Amino acid sequence: MTISDTVTEEKLTHYIGLTKKAREKATPIPEDGTNESKQLQIMLRMADDYASDAQHFMDNGDYVRAFGAINYAHAWIDAGVKLRLLDGHGDDVLFTLP
């Protein structure tokens, strides 16, 4: 087993921080009350729930599930940017830009 095959607390802390940064940076594009805005709120709720799950799993020592959950959280945010529901502000490190 190599270090890249191991989910460590440091690796989780890095990815949780990266996802938090992405969540803070991405800003909604649709106007409030539109169908797109309602869809975006569902996506962001999923991202927030998975991020919360990741922290819970990490706090309980379940690093594998925490790693999976934080990646799902980031994917929901990234999908919002890709679908142009969120503005990624040109950041091609945090997001897969349209």
Decide if pLDDT at 4 tops 90.
no
Decide if pLDDT at 1 tops 60.
no
| Total number of residues shown for the chain | 98
Tell me the pLDDT tens digit for each residue of 12-21.
Answer: 999 999 999 9
Q: What is the pLDDT of residue 97?
A: 87
Q: What's the start-to-end Cα distance of the chain, in Å?
A: 37
Q: Exposed, middle or buried, 77 (CB in 10 Å: 0-12/13-18/19+)?
A: buried
Tell me the pLDDT tens digit for each residue of 48-68.
Answer: 999 999 999 999 999 999 999
Domains and CATH numbers, the chain: 8-87 (1.20.1270.90)
Task: Please state the pTM of the whole predicted model.
Answer: 0.92
Q: Where does the chain show beta strands of DSSP type E?
A: 27-28, 86-87
**Both tokens of residue 81?**
């940017």
**Both tokens of residue 8?**
């460590």
Q: Which residues pair with 86 in a beta bridge?
A: 28
